Structures are given as C-alpha cells and as structure tokens.
C-alpha cells in the first residue's frame, strides 16, 4: 500500500469518528458517549502491532481503542449484547470498486462515502428519538455527490442543529411532507390489507417520502386500488416490468476448500434424484451446547421435493464431500427450518454437521495462505469477485446490523455461488445462465419492508439463495438472500432488485422457538493478506 493511500485512509477513518462521535455530538444530534449499537456478541478485536506511522503491518490504519472491558449495551430480541468492537480500518475493495465504476469517483472519494455511511445510523437514531413527528428518514444520495440527506417536516430544525459543525457540509436537510413514523404506520396498514395477495410487496421509499406498493403481473387490481385509496397520497403503485420474482436457489457452483465460509456452494440431492442447492450464509453457534450450524435459505431444503432429511455436499459431481444436514430430531427440525412464501422473514434453514468427523474437517485448524488467516475460520465471508481482481481477502464477520440501522442508499455487498457450466464441466447447473460468474457483487439498499425484508439493487441468480448480504468495511452481516427479480446472466438490467431476510429477524425468530440460544459466529481476528 502506498504512503499516500495510508494517509488518505487514516484521514477518512478519523473523519468518520469525528462525524459520528464528536462534532455532531456537539450539535446535540449524536450523544457524546455514543457507541455503535451492539446487535449481537462481538468480541473486541485482537490488537495488531502498529508501525511507527500508525498503520498495521499490511498498511491499514491501526484499530481504534475498544471500550473498557465489560462494557455492555442492550441488543435486540434473541441476541446477547456484548462489548463494542474496535473500529476496523476501511478496507473495502469491492465496495470501492462498485462506487468507482458506478459513479465515476476516485478511490479517496469512495472511501469518504463509505466513512460517511458508517455514521448514518447514529444520526438517524438520534433524530428519530428527538424529532419523531418531524424526522422523515435518512439516506445516502450517491447520485448527488455522496451526501447524507435527512428528510424532515421542519428541515430548519435539522439545519440549525448542524450549523457551524465540522462535517455538516456532508449532511443536508430536505423538506418532507410525512414523518418516517407516519410512513411506517401506513406501510404496516397496507401490508395488512394486502396480506395473501401474491406478487405484492410493500416498502417505505424514504427519498420519495412515500410508501411504494410493487405488484407483479396478475395482482388483484381492485384490491390494490382500494388499499391505496384508503391511505390517500401517502402511497403509490408500481408495476413490475419484469416477469414474476424467482427464488434465487437451485444448484450452486462447486464450493471452495475448507474452512466453511459464507458465500460458497451447498449441493442438495432432491427426492426425485436431481440435485439442487444454495449458498452458505453464515455460521451460527448454540450458546447452550457450543454446537456449530450453517445458516442458509429455508426454501433450499423445506420444499415439495425435499420430504426426506436433506443432506448437503461440496462438489457433488466430483469429490462429493458431506457438509451439513437437517436435524435428525423431527420436532427440532421443524423449528430450525421454515419456508413461508407469504411471510418473507420465515425463510431460513439452520443445519448442523452430521457427525464429529465432518465437523472436524470443516472447522479444523487453519494455516496462513495467500488469502489470510484467523483463529475462528468459520466466521468469514468469501469476497472474491466476478472475473477476479477486486479484493481477494476474506471478510471477517464482526456481528450483525439491526435492520433499523440499515440506511437506504448505503453500499452493501452480496456473495453467491450461482453458475451454469460449459459443456463437460463437472458442475451441476444452477440455472444462472451462461456468463454469470459466482462471487461478490456490491450495490445499494433501496428500501425496507414493514416486516424488515431488505431490498437491494444487486445482481443475483438462481444458486445464490441463502448467500450473505453485508457491509464490507466493517464486516457486519445484514441478511441472507431469499428471492428477487428474474434477469439476464450478464447482469445488464440496471433496475434488478433482490430481497434479503435479516439475520436479526432469523435469530429472534429461532431463539423464541428453541432454547439453543443461537448467536452469529464472529471472527476473533481480522484476516490479513499475505504480505508476499
């Protein structure tokens, strides 16, 4: 890494800290003692020896000091709060590449936008608490210079709060007719009115200051019009220009070598002799038993052609290495896997390793490689990119982001293993289409449904289901892929939308149904690239 880039990254990291904890606190927007909300157990990052210029051996800025030992904060239902981790260096090559390619910005500008993104949830939480009837939401406007915009029915109050504050030039208050609280109430009303109508989605459009109801061809026109009429101008109807949504599952590409990481292939034999599958999402651990589980999409195994106890494999057509399977206890199996098409948040499968030998193979010791190393090999996401050349090292999973902190316009990344092989390749076709490459793609958050389903503008194909959605710079999990728009293998549709079930919702749901006390497995050290 060049000296200039080191300096740039250090400045940007300092700007992010100042924006989120210092300068905005002086204006009363963010509390002076604010720390990022701990949505789940996150151990403090291990200290790296810093070089005299303040960088770690790989050239990234040295991590900030973590909170005092034992400090804890309240987390969401189904999760255990833990000390806030040290702020990681902004190393996000996939996200930077996305911003540079999409908006034509420099690397320094892309890093600035990512730093600003990290401060957005703190600003949002404070304004929502202090101005609930005036605050209309927050979003990153990537089109207009990468500014953080705050909607408000009284924008003068937000502007006054930011007056004279360093960094305020990156935040703009804009007028809005409806508060965010009002829009969320309207979205819940519409979602209830339209329950059971196929091909209909409801979400809050924060920049548009409206609720948007998206309907696929064939949706009940009379019911749609009646529901929208009852909420007046607070909602609008949008028609899909594409065919009905499709599940992004089936038969993913062959997995990579151990250890198990988010974003790699799971092949699943079906009752009829065909082979389908999904992408690994995250690794979970039972706090009660210490047992490890792999999280993926429920429709991968809980479906019409999966009546037996499903098992999964790596490279089914070649080495055929077993990975995880459905729990053999029928009563527990029903609690650890659901597939409800009319309930977007109940589509998950939590699968254990079938025996000690298989678990030992996939969770065994790790030796340094060209992609990195870690004490906990499972809490990682593969982040190799289509065509290669945009990052390479695995991302350490440091925790999850509560869905209330997911900001429209934020840059997020998703990893999947969908693939259609060429003639003669020993890989099961996922139906992705020739030319679609597995790996990591980045895009932006578009909207959040009333229940919490996260809609993003990222290309994905059949075989990517269950794969992880995350923020690259801080390693925070967001969700797993459920379904999305059909599209071309070239990813040439600029308006393609895909939908992710939040990790937070899955943990809350399963922990309310079992006493296994699941938590997201996180890494204890951040993988570093091989200096060679």
Beta-strand relationship, 476-484 and 399-400: parallel
CB atoms within 10 A of CB 333: 19
What confidence tens digit (pLDDT) does each residue in 363-406 have?
Answer: 765 444 444 444 345 677 766 666 544 445 667 888 999 999 99
Is pLDDT of 177 > 90?
A: yes
- Here the tokens at position 317 are 């057509």
CB 394 within 8 A of CB 381: yes
What confidence tens digit (pLDDT) does each residue in 344-355 have?
Answer: 788 999 999 998
Specify the pLDDT at position 499: 93
Specify the pLDDT at position 383: 67
Average pLDDT, the chain: 75
Would you list the DSSP string of 51-94? PTTSB-TTSSBPPPPPPPTT------TT----PPPPPPP---HH
Q: Given pLDDT bands bounded at 50, 70 and 90, which one contains residue 411? A: very high
Residues near 316 by beta carbon (within 8 Å), at least 6 away in sequence: 267, 269, 275, 277, 428
- Residue 122, CB-side half-sphere exposure with 13 Å CA sphere: 27
Residues near 154 by beta carbon (within 8 Å), at least 6 away in sequence: 131, 134
Q: Given pLDDT bands bounded at 50, 70 and 90, which one contains residue 4? A: very low
Q: Given pLDDT bands bounded at 50, 70 and 90, which one contains residue 5? A: very low
Average pLDDT over residues 188-203: 84
Q: Given pLDDT bands bounded at 50, 70 and 90, which one contains residue 40? A: very low
Q: Of 62-71, 286-295, 420-429, 470-479, which gets the smallest average pLDDT?
A: 62-71
Cα–Cα distances (Å) from 306 to 87, 299, 326, 465, in that order, read 43, 9, 11, 16
Specify the pLDDT at position 49: 28
Specify the pLDDT at position 460: 93
Specify the pLDDT at position 530: 36
Angstrom distance (rounded) from CA 153 to CA 161: 15
Cα-flanking dihedrals φ and ψ of residue 393, to 5°? -80, 150
Q: Given pLDDT bands bounded at 50, 70 and 90, which one contains residue 473? A: confident
What confidence tens digit (pLDDT) does each residue in 437-448 have?
Answer: 888 899 999 999
Higher pLDDT, 46 or 28: 28
Average pLDDT over residues 133-155: 93
Is pLDDT of 34 > 50?
A: no
Higher pLDDT, 83 or 486: 486
Average pLDDT over residues 284-302: 91
Is pLDDT of 112 > 80?
A: yes
């Amino acid at each position: 890494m060049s000296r200039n880039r080191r300096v740039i990254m250090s400045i940007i990291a300092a700007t992010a800290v100042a924006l989120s904890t210092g300068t905005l606190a002086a204006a009363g927007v963010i509390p002076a003692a604010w720390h990022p909300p701990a949505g789940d157990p996150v151990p403090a990052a291990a200290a790296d020896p810093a070089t005299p210029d303040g960088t770690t051996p790989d050239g990234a800025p040295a991590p900030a000091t973590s909170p005092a030992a034992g400090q804890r904060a309240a987390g969401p239902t189904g999760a255990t709060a833990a000390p806030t981790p040290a702020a990681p260096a902004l190393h996000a090559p996939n996200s930077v590449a996305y911003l540079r390619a999409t908006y034509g910005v420099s690397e320094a500008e892309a890093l600035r936008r990512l730093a600003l993104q990290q401060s957005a949830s703190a600003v949002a939480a404070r304004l929502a608490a202090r101005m609930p009837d005036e605050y209309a939401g927050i979003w990153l406007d990537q089109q207009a210079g990468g500014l953080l915009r705050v909607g408000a029915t009284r924008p003068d109050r937000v502007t006054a709060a930011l007056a004279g504050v360093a960094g305020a030039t990156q935040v703009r208050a804009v007028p809005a007719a409806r508060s965010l609280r009002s829009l969320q109430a309207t979205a819940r009303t519409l979602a209830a009115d339209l329950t059971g109508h196929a091909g209909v989605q409801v979400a809050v459009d924060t920049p548009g200051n409206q609720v948007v109801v998206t309907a696929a061809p064939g949706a009940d026109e009379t019911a749609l019009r009646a529901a929208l009429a009852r909420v007046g101008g607070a909602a609008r109807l949008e028609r899909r220009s594409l065919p009905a949504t499709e599940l992004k599952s089936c038969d993913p590409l062959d997995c990579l070598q151990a250890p198990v990481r988010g974003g790699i292939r799971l092949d699943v034999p079906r009752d009829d002799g065909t082979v389908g599958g999904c992408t690994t999402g995250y690794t979970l651990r039972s706090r009660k038993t210490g047992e490890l589980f792999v999280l993926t999409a429920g429709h991968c195994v809980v479906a019409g052609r999966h009546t037996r106890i499903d098992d999964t494999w790596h490279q089914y057509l070649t080495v055929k290495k077993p990975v995880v399977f459905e729990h053999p206890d029928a009563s527990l199996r029903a609690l650890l896997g659901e597939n409800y098409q009319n309930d977007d948040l109940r589509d998950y499968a939590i699968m254990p390793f079938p025996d000690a030998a298989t678990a030992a193979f996939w969770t065994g010791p790790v030796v340094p490689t060209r992609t990195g190393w870690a004490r906990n090999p499972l809490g990682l996401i593969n982040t190799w990119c289509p065509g290669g050349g945009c990052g390479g090292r695995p991302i350490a999973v440091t925790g999850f982001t509560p869905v209330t902190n997911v900001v429209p316009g934020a840059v997020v990344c998703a990893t999947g293993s969908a693939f259609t092989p060429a003639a003669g390749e020993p890989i099961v076709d996922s139906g992705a289409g020739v030319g679609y490459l597995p790996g990591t793609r980045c895009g932006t958050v578009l909207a959040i449904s009333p229940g919490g389903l996260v809609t993003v503008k990222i290309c994905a194909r059949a075989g990517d289901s269950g794969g992880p959605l995350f923020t690259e710079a801080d390693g925070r999990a967001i969700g797993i892929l459920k379904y999305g728009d059909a599209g071309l293998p070239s990813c040439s549709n600029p308006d393609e939308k895909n939908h992710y079930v939040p990790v937070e919702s899955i943990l809350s749901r399963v922990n309310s149904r079992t006493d296994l006390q699941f938590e997201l497995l996180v890494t204890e050290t951040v993988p570093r690239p091989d200096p060679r």
